[in-house]
Structure 1
Amino acid sequence: MTHSVFDPGLEAITVAETELSDVDGDAGELVVRGYPIAELAANATYEEAVSLLLTGRLPPADELRAFRSSLADARALPDGVGPVLRAAAAEDADPMDALRMGLAAASLGLGDAAPRAVARRVVAVVPTIVAAHWRYREGESPVAPDPDLGHAANYRYVVTGEEPTAAQRRALETFLTTMVDHGLNPSTFTARTVVSTESDLVSAATAAVGALKGRRHGGNLQRVFDLLRAAHEADDVAAVVEARLDSAGWLPGFGHRLYDVRDPRAAVLSAALEALPGATSDAFRATVRELETAGTAALSERQQRRSAPTVEFYAAALLYSVGVPPALFTPTFAVARVGGWMAHCLEQRANNELVRPVARYVGETGRSWTPVEERGTDSAASRRAAVGPVAERLSTLSEPARLEILLALADAATPVEYSTLLAATSIDDNGRFNYHLRQLRGTFVDSRDGGYALSAAGQRVVDDVVTGDLLPGE
């Protein structure tokens, strides 16, 4: 078997067919089971959204009551989970680590339960685990779930011990529904991969928690809030933005990997934040708006393209405003996303294929065994480390298709639109073209208003190729 596509991020690889959600990054649209996310989040309860994902349709009143009841009945923790969470709290464990441990322990007593029953159990118990660990860590006893409260209201209740106001409940409901599913994101892909091996749904959920914890996924919420807090405490928001860009070169909460325009979920959560009456100060909301303006302007000036706020920007602001402790922002993301995880796991089970990608071997060859007494110090590793950055750039440019893209841009006096650039090359596969263009963006190619153009580094490469007589003659 010949594998011709090398795509480390799998961005140009389709590995599943799904009926659950569709992300259109170019248009800035997210559709869940056919419903635009703005319409779903503005109207649905979290239970309705999860039921929609699991069954494919919005539940009638009697089915919705039964589904809500089934989730409420499954919220309580088995006896063995409490000691695990107390031990995690005593060690000051990260709340996401505690969720992973507690979720694994919560499988006790499930036995041979049907997959759909396990899915409901996992969705129901995640909020209880997060809240119980948090209260242990704060030196307080866990609050028993209230079966009369809906999923969103109960979550805030077991965390704080107080029932939310109607406005807080609606805001949290909007957050959970907005975040319930988002295509084949890393944690969802992780869950589907685990299920593809014919493992169980609890194992898939614990693996997904591990993926969501990462700072390039759900863990980014904490960094976004740190920026929001610094801006709110400063006299000059623009100065905070410039300082952050000078030190790190990027801003948490700006520029989504998939969306070239504003993340549609950001618009939903922004509206929810503005609708909160008195739950957050006007001064804090003003900081959020000022930071969005300052961040967008600074990134546009430095990168010559618009970088709009992502969903994490307004998610952090909204969760803070409804009283969720910042340390629980990423676990609260898990409270929302677990519904999508379970729907994807069931979909994977229904038409399963083992997820088994291949790797391109780039290591040593032709080596022979050396007895231990004859082995000297090998300096190859240190030499590789020294040339690493250079080798990375050379490997980026070693693909002929990428050089062809650079040369096509060199012929243009103004930024080139995507379709025009594609037509100017011999690359006839959109996925392959997208992959090579992504490898060049940021270093050799800039995204600007009106299209793409060579960066200074890209121009130097073209100049070296042309003036160095590296191209074949006519």
Structure 2
Amino acid sequence: MSATDGGRDPLTGEAPQAVLDEARRWWQTDIIDIHPGEIALRGYPIQELIGNVGFVDTIWLMLRGELPTRAQAALLEAALVASVDHGPQAPSIAIARMATTCGVPVNGAMASAINVLDDIHGGPGEQCMELYLEVDAELEGGGDLDEAARLVVQRHRDAGVRYLPGFGHRFHPLDPRKHPLLALVDDATADGVVTGRFAAIGRAVETAINVGRSKPIPMNVDGVTAVIYCELGFTPQHGRGVFILARSVGILAHTVEQLAQGGRIKGPVPKSIGYTYTGPARRPVPHEREP
């Protein structure tokens, strides 16, 4: 910059202070503040958090801006524990193990697994939270809970939704995680930790889904963890993210176990089982074809 340009940036024409202010605004965050020899998460010095605050508390702090109460952290932790793993047949876990047998390192195997935690495998918890919030919106200004749940369930059915997220399970007739988690929510409600509003909504949706059914479709782990995350004030996007955090623990465990077991290029089924071919029968390649 020269005296003739008034000290302005020759490319942008802006004054030096304006350029500096823009640079400082380029990345803005309320989450972390670091300087040489200093790290603070949401204003808390890292050296004071270490040894005094647990990992679940830190998840809450990073996402919500403040530390949770011990009761809030305990309820969040229960939901995380319930979502850690569901066996090597779960697509994300299977992908991690297969990737490992293809020589992919831990980070690559975990990334491959996490990348499939989308709407179908990994998203129902977030979608169920949205469902509960839809019922909650129906109740604004008063209204009957059972009727609100019925209206929302019918709305989704009319839209062609075959499986409502958070209910039913292809493997468990009754998800063993449902009742323990709901009991913790009920205890937290009795202690004033949460309101119990979304536990009631979840149960009302379950009732609405099963009207007229001889074989009930019970709430599954996605449905009950959605209750917990809504009760704790998390957004649906948070719900998806914390599920991924929890399942990453199982993905890591299976990746490390497969590394120890060894194996090379394992597919989804053993070689002896093979697969079912449904294409044309063997046929010769024609010598003459239409131009």
Q: Same fold (TM over 0.5)?
A: yes
Partner of 1:368: 285
Report the residue type matching 1:244 in the other structure: H
C-alpha separation in 2, matches of 1:367 and 1:225 = 55
2:193, 2:253 → 1: CA distance? 33
| CA–CA distance in structure 2, aligned partners of residues 370 and 220 of structure 1 | 52
Q: Give me the whole-angstrom Cα distance separating, in 2, the residues matched to 1:281 and 1:323.
A: 11
Q: Which residue of 2 aligns with 1:257?
A: 170
Contact 1:253 1:312 in 2 (8 A): yes
Alignment-mate amino acid for residue 250 of structure 1: Y
Secondary structure of the residue that 2:199 maps to in structure 1?
Answer: helix
One of 54, 77, 86 as aligned partner of 1:150:
54
User: What are the superposed Cα offsets for residues 378-436 of structure 1, whole Å, 9 maximum, x if unpaired?
Assistant: xxxxxxxxxxxxxxxxxxxxxxxxxxxxxxxxxxxxxxxxxxxxxxxxxxxxxxxxxxx
Q: What secondary structure, in the 3-state scheme, does the structure 2 residue paired with 1:275 have?
A: helix
What SS does structure 2 have at the residue aligned with 1:212?
Answer: coil
- Corresponding position: 1:141 with 2:30: yes
Distance 2:228 2:288 in 1: 62
Which residue in 2 is equivalent to 1:207?
A: 112
Contact 2:181–2:224 at 8 Å: present in 1 too? yes
Q: Which residue of 2 aligns with 1:386?
A: none
Please point out which of 214, 218, 243 is paired with 2:155.
243
Residue pairs, 1:1-20, within 5 angstroms: none
Q: Is contact 2:198-2:231 (8 Å) kept?
A: no
Secondary structure at 1:217 match in 2: coil
Alpha-carbon distance in structure 1 between the residues aligned to 2:259 and 2:184? 35
Aligned length: 232
CA distance in 2, matches of 1:305, 1:186: 27
Report the Cα distance in structure 2 between the residues aligned to 1:225 and 1:245, rounded to whole angstroms.
17
- Give the one of 125, 146, 149 matched to 1:221: 125
Cα 1:361–1:249 change in 2 (3 A) is closer
Note the 1:127-206 alignment, pairs <5 A: 140-143=29-32, 144=41, 146-147=49-50, 148-184=52-88, 185-206=90-111
- The 2-side partners of 1:193 and 1:258 are apart by 22
Q: Which residue of 1 aligns with 2:35?
A: none
Aligned mate of 1:271, from 169, 173, 183: 183
Summarize the Cα distance change of 1:348–1:283 in structure 2 as closer, same or farther, 3 Å threshold. closer
Cα deviation digits, residues 8-33 of structure 1 (max 9, x gap)? xxxxxxxxxxxxxxxxxxxxxxxxxx
Match of residue 336, structure 1, among 246, 256, 271: 246
Aligned partner of residue 250 in structure 1, secondary structure: coil
Equivalents in 1 of 2:29, 2:236: separation in Å?
18
Unaligned runs of 5+ in 2: 1-25, 33-40
1:282 to partner: Cα distance: 4.0
Q: Residues 253 and 310 of structure 1 are in contact (CA less than 8 Å); yes or no, is this contact kept in structure 2? A: yes
Distance 1:202 1:351 in 2: 18
Q: TM-score normalized by structure 1?
A: 0.45
Show the counterpart of 2:263. 353
Taking the aligned partners of 2:186 and 2:225, their CA distance within structure 1 comes to 13
2: CA distance, partners of 1:162 / 1:246: 41
CA shift at 1:153, angstroms? 0.7
Which whole-Å deviations, capped at 9, do the CAs of 1:142-185 have from their partners, x for residues lacking one? 33364232111111111122000111110111111121122121
**Matched ranges for 1:94-113 at <5 A:** none
8 Å CA contact 2:57, 2:67 repeated in 1: yes
Please state how far the C-alpha of 1:329 moved relative to its aligned partner.
1.2
What does residue 310 of structure 1 align with? Answer: 220
TM-score (norm 2): 0.71
- For residue 252 of structure 1, report the CA deviation from its aligned partner: 1.7
Return 5+ residue gaps in structure 1 as ranges. Answer: 1-89, 91-135, 375-474
Distance, in Å, in 2 between the alignment partners of 1:370 and 1:332 is 59
Kindly indicate whether residue 191 of structure 2 is the aligned counterpart of residue 281 of structure 1. Answer: no
Q: Larger relative CO (CA 8 A, sep 6+): 1 or 2?
A: 2
AA matched with 1:206 = A
Q: Distance in 2 between matches of 1:175 and 1:282?
A: 16
CA distance in 2 between counterparts of 1:267 and 1:371 reads 68
How far did residue 370 of structure 1 move?
8.6
The share of aligned pairs that are identical, in percent, is 28
Does structure 2 retain, via aligned residues, the 8 Å contact 1:266–1:312? no
Summarize deviations over 1:222-249 as a string: whole Å, max 9, x none.
Answer: 2211211122222422232233234323
* Whole-angstrom distance in 1 between the partners of 2:221 and 2:111: 24
Q: Deviations over 1:167-223 (max 9, x none)?
A: 11101111111211221211111111111122211111101111222x222111122
Structure-1 separation of matches of 2:181 and 2:196: 16
In terms of fraction of residues, the more helix-rich structure is 1
Structure 1 pair 343–284 and aligned structure 2 pair: CA distance change class (3 A): closer
Aligned with 2:116: secondary structure? helix
* CA displacement 1:265-304 (0-9 Å, x = unmatched): 1112212222324443344332222222222x22xx24x3
